Amino acid sequence: MVRDYCIQCGFSVVVDKASNFKYTVRCSDDKCEWKLHASKLPDGSTWAIKSIQNQEHTCLGLETRNPMVSSAWASRVLMEDIRANNDISAKSMNKLLWDRFRVEMSISTLYRMRTMTLLEIHGAHYVSYGHLPKYCEVVKSTNPGSAAFCAWKPPNDPEKPLAFVSIFIAFRGALDELFAGCRSFIGVDGTFLKGHYGGVLLSAVALDGNNDLFPFAWAIVSGEDNETWKFFVWHLKNVLQDSGRGDEWCIISDRHKSIEAAFSALWPKVGRRYCCKHLASNWKKAHPGPLMFSLFWKACGATSTFTFKKAMDQIQKVNPQALVWLSKLGEQSRSTKHKFNPNIKCDMNKSNFVESFNATLGTDRCRPVLTLLEGIRRVTMVRLATRRQVCEEWERDDVCPNILKRIQVLKEPVKHISLMMVNMRLAILHAGLDPLKFIDDMYTVKVYKLAYAQCIKSVPDFEQWPDIDLPTIQPPTIKRKASRPCRNRKRGEDEARKGKRSCTVQCKKCKSFGHNARTCKGGPTNAQTTQRKTKGKQAKQQATSKQ
């Protein structure tokens, strides 16, 4: 469908392309009954009008590009739509304008208008940094006991203003629920921000008794280096030691040098695990090949000493140097399941769940920092309240649903497993006992409800904040790169590329490759087919003669 103007009558019309040889032209006003039918003549270049229904327009001739339609007016009428979807496209905005007011605007004007509207909704990026010191005080006043710390850097020159460095947030409601009903397994990771001033969002996410994500602490820093990670680890250690568990926590992350340096210097006694997915990417570079890749996961996923030793023996036969690479990882409890601490009650060796939480932020990573922090708070607040309501409707009151599904899956292959591979799970099932009686209290509905008994209280808009005697800081120095900032996540080597076809397209009409039936132009001619066959035979003859 193409919207255009009729040359003869000057009215706005819509062209519906029924096929390659027939067109239907109607008035863009849905109430107007004017319509024209045309078709292409056999010469292939001449068109003939076959019929015209209601030759006189019953409308007044709509002006789709009214010059009186300004960006300020469009911003006012579309503000709520842009507020609901910050990434709304110009095509969608034009459709809204057409359906409501029968007007349209140019694509470039609509995008400029959207930028102006987002600035009015969220405020400017540089203004948002000035509210952060006061935001920490408001968080601690509305949610007593919360951890909220903002750091800024005094300038070397007294005439220059104070500059933002980092901010750490952990709400008391989330911390109480973490201590009451979540496991001592925490994943930490960082994700880049897409705002004007860049930066990195550091987040700490735990797992509850139903294997659901439980975010409880986050920070915004200038980048991932030793100082910023020490800032995050220091505050993370302080908020977790209030739980009474001491150092009985296990932190999983990748082997970033700054993360290792921060935990070694500030919290050396805490349990540590490495994300095996990040280790596997480095393993493939040092020891390529599908066999070595499968042996690596066999060693990392071994749940007993026997299977681990068997995997290590196979690695030694294939490539003895690979054992040296594994020895540099440190203790086996950091990468191999059979050495994991059972008190943690989690055998996960990947940090994907932290990346999943970062993915839920969506376009908030492109917004000002205050909008981002409030977006994380709202997401966490709604998550806790929703799960508190959902668990009240569960039919069973002994085991959480996701854990029950895992137990049912583990029951299925027992009939086909030999007793030579017996372990605790198989022994329980082989003895005819109910495995639900051996489940830890951490996976029960009672403990799950304790994890969501508290709530995070709302924070008022900055216009309603009380007068607080704190400085108004400035944003950090802009670190611009040469190209346009990328908003999409960079996919790993083993991930499929978005929008890429997995196979060659073949036409259903002519059976040729490279196009589909919709764009088919009749296929290759006989001369082209003969020429391709001749080239193929010549290539085979040349290859045979060389051999």
- Domain check: are 266 and 192 in the same one? yes
Give how far Cα 282 sits from Cα of 255, 259, 287, 288, 457, Å. Answer: 10, 17, 9, 10, 43
Domain, as residue range, for 116? 71-122
Residue 134 has a pLDDT of 93
> Which residue from 358, 365, 346 is spatially nearest to 215, judged by alpha carbons?
358
- Domain check: are 108 and 142 in the same one? no
**Residue positions counted in the chain:** 547
Say if 190 falls within a structural domain.
yes
Put the strands of the sheet holding 12-17 in their side by side order: 2-5, 12-17, 22-27, 35-40, 47-53
- Please state the φ and ψ torsions of residue 439, each to the nearest 5 degrees: -80, 140
pLDDT in tens, 106-157: 899 999 999 999 988 888 888 899 999 999 999 999 999 999 999 998 766 6
Residue 158 has a pLDDT of 65
| Position 502 pLDDT exceeds 60 | no
Say if 76 falls within a structural domain.
yes
Residue 133 CB: number of other CB atoms within 10 A?
A: 21
pLDDT in tens, 241-294: 877 787 889 999 998 899 999 999 999 999 999 999 999 988 998 898 889 999
- Domain check: are 190 and 106 in the same one? no
Residue 505 has a pLDDT of 79
Instruction: Give the mean pLDDT of the chain.
Output: 82
Residue 497 has a pLDDT of 62
Q: Which residue has the higher pLDDT, 229 or 440?
A: 229
Instruction: Give percent of the chain above pLDDT 90.
Output: 33
Query: CB of 474 within 8 A of CB of 164?
Result: yes
- Domain check: are 224 and 366 in the same one? yes
- Summarize the confidence of residues 430-439 as an average pLDDT: 76
Residue 161 has a pLDDT of 81
> Which residue from 154, 121, 161, 152 is spatially nearest to 134, judged by alpha carbons?
152
- Domain check: are 153 and 177 in the same one? yes
Q: Which residue has the higher pLDDT, 538 or 167?
A: 167
Say if 283 falls within a structural domain.
no
- Domain check: are 243 and 368 in the same one? yes
pLDDT in tens, 149-172: 999 987 666 667 888 999 999 999
Residue 17 has a pLDDT of 60
- Domain check: are 139 and 16 in the same one? no
Distance (Å, rounded) from C-alpha 92 to C-alpha 134?
38
Token digits for 19? 């096929």
Residue 419 has a pLDDT of 38
Q: Which residues contact 442 (CB under 8 A, 6 or more apart)?
A: 181, 183, 209, 345
pLDDT in tens, 288-323: 888 999 999 999 999 888 899 999 999 999 999 999
Distance (Å, rounded) from C-alpha 55 to C-alpha 50?
13
| Position 546 pLDDT exceeds 60 | no
Whether the full predicted model's pTM is greater than 0.85, yes or no, is no
Among candidate residues 122, 152, 181, the one where a domain is terminated: 122
- Domain check: are 232 and 379 in the same one? yes
Say if 487 falls within a structural domain.
no
Say if 186 falls within a structural domain.
yes
| Position 416 pLDDT exceeds 60 | no
**What is the CA 204 to chain-centroid distance, rounded?**
16
Q: Which residues contact 338 (CB under 8 A, 6 or more apart)?
A: 302, 303, 304, 305, 307, 308, 332
- Domain check: are 371 and 406 in the same one? no
Say if 192 falls within a structural domain.
yes
Q: Which residues contact 444 (CB under 8 A, 6 or more apart)?
A: 209, 398, 399, 400
- Domain check: are 165 and 134 in the same one? yes
Residue 408 has a pLDDT of 77
- Sign of the four-CA dihedral 523, 525, 529, 531: negative
| Position 541 pLDDT exceeds 70 | no
Provide the number of structural domains found in the chain.
4
> Which residue from 53, 49, 48, 98 is spatially nearest to 78, judged by alpha carbons?
98
- Please state the φ and ψ torsions of residue 70, each to the nearest 5 degrees: -100, 170
Residue 528 has a pLDDT of 62
pLDDT in tens, 28-62: 777 787 888 888 887 777 778 888 888 777 776 55
| Position 422 pLDDT exceeds 50 | no
Q: Which of 400-404, 456-460, 478-482 has the highest mean pLDDT?
A: 456-460
- Summarize the confidence of residues 438-448 as an average pLDDT: 86
- Domain check: are 144 and 41 in the same one? no
- Summarize the confidence of residues 185-196 as an average pLDDT: 89
What residues are paired with 40 via a beta bridge?
Answer: 47
Q: How confident is the model at residue 5 (pLDDT cuts 50, 70, 90)?
A: very low
Say if 201 falls within a structural domain.
yes
Among candidate residues 99, 122, 145, the one where a domain is terminated: 122
- For 172, the enclosing helix (H) or strand (E) is helix 172-181
- Domain check: are 201 and 261 in the same one? yes
**What is the CA 228 to chain-centroid distance, rounded?**
23
Instruction: Give percent of the chain above pLDDT 70.
Output: 81
Distance (Å, rounded) from C-alpha 350 to C-alpha 354?
9
Say if 502 falls within a structural domain.
no
Among candidate residues 103, 122, 141, the one where a domain is terminated: 122
pLDDT in tens, 324-334: 999 988 899 99
Token digits for 520? 């088919």
Cα separation of the two ends of the chain: 58
